């Protein structure tokens, strides 16, 4: 069964450094998403992306965050200058349509020191 | 505002029992709901979804019920197995359909 893959599984970064989280969505999907989950809490929406532009973003997704689809298969989340409170699991998801379910990857654990 | 929540943070059942996990939502305009299962160290895994024009939908061993009158969603798992132990989240589409809003999750523990 096709799946969303994310790399790396764990990223440790010094505060203030830039980090790029990578995702390969399901190949025929057109809608892409990033969510985060702070330990023990619920999953929070960050951003959705369609047709090479952001469809919607939450208030968490401030100017330090950006997304990109650099080629036909990858979808990336960049945090420009990381803060301690950026430590969380970051999940990528994709869907074939707005009416269909979003399928999630297994996440990248981001630890900011 | 838009929010989704769950009634109970934990639920413990015996293997073979039926489990019912509940969720209350606040946005009466929501038209799409989805249940996810999250195992430790993994991402949310799609279980079943339902649109607001339906009251009930069945899958393999799972049933989702939607009561729009009281804005309540439930997930029923038949003959619960130890492999069903996980955190279960309900989620709804935001009004634009461009994001999922998750509830806080119910941890299901199945003992054999």
Q: Over the stretch B22-73, which tens digit does the pLDDT of each residue have?
A: 999 888 889 999 999 999 989 999 999 999 999 999 999 999 999 999 999 9
- DSSP 3-state percent helix, strand, coil across chain A (nearest 5): 5, 50, 50
Give residues with Cβ within 8 angstroms of A52, minimum separation 6: A69
- How far apart CA A82 and CA B33 sit, in angstroms, is 33
Q: Do B97 and A98 touch (CB under 8 A)?
A: yes
Q: Flag whether pLDDT at B2 surpasses 70.
A: no
- The DSSP string of B47-92 is EEEEETT-SEEE-SSEEEEEETTTTEEEEEESS--GGG-EEEEEEE
Contact B100 A45 (CB under 8 A): yes
Give the chain B residue nearest A41 (alpha carbons).
B104
**Averaged pLDDT for residues B82-110:** 92
Contact at 8 Å (CB) between A104 and A3? no
Q: Residue B103 is nearest to which of A42, A48, A102, comparing CB atoms?
A: A42
Q: Please, which residues bridge with residue B111 across strands?
A: B14
Cα–Cα distance between A108 and A9 in angstroms, integer?
4
Residue A16 to chain B, least CA–CA distance (Å): 26
Report, as an integer, the average pLDDT of B72-79: 96
Contact list, A3 vs chain B (CB under 8 Å): none
CA distance A110 to B100: 22
DSSP for residue B17: S
Residues 6+ apart with CB under 8 A from A68: A75, A76, A78
- Residue B109: how many other CB atoms lie within 10 Å: 13
User: Is the per-residue pLDDT at B96 higher than 90?
Assistant: no
Residue ranges of chain A whose pLDDT lies below 50: none
pLDDT at residue number B5: 55
Of B34, B42, B98, Cβ closest to residue A106:
B42
- Confidence (pLDDT) at B1: 35
Distance to chain B for A83, nearest Cα, Å: 23
For residue A57, the model assigns a pLDDT of 95
Give the model's confidence band at B4: pLDDT under 50 very low, under 70 low, under 90 confident, else very high. Answer: low
- Name the minimum distance, in Å, from the CA of B42 to any CA of chain A: 5
- Cα distances from A11 to residues A14, A25, A33, A39, A48, in angstroms, run 10, 19, 19, 15, 22
Q: Which of B43, B46, B88 is the mutation pick for testing A, counting most A CBs within 10 A?
A: B43
């Amino acid at each position: 069964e096709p799946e969303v893959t994310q790399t790396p599984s764990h990223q440790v970064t010094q505060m203030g450094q830039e980090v790029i989280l990578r995702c390969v969505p399901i190949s025929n999907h057109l809608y892409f998403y990033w969510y985060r989950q702070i330990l023990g809490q619920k999953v929070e929406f960050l951003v959705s992306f369609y047709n090479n532009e952001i469809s919607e973003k939450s208030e968490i997704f401030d100017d330090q965050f950006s997304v990109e689809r650099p080629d036909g298969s990858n979808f990336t989340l960049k945090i420009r200058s990381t803060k301690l409170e950026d430590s969380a699991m970051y999940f990528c998801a994709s869907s074939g349509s707005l009416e269909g379910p979003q399928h999630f990857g297994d996440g990248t654990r981001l630890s900011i020191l | 505002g838009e929010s989704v929540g769950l009634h109970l943070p934990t639920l413990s059942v015996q293997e073979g029992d039926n489990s019912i996990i509940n969720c209350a939502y606040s946005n009466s305009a929501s038209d799409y709901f989805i249940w996810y299962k999250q195992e430790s160290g993994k991402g949310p895994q799609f279980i079943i979804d339902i649109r607001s024009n339906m009251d009930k939908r069945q899958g393999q061993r799972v049933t989702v019920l939607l009561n729009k009158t009281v804005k309540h969603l439930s997930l029923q798992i038949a003959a619960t197995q130890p492999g069903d132990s996980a955190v279960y989240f309900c989620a709804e589409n935001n009004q634009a359909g461009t994001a999922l809003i998750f509830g806080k999750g119910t941890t299901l523990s199945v003992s054999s």
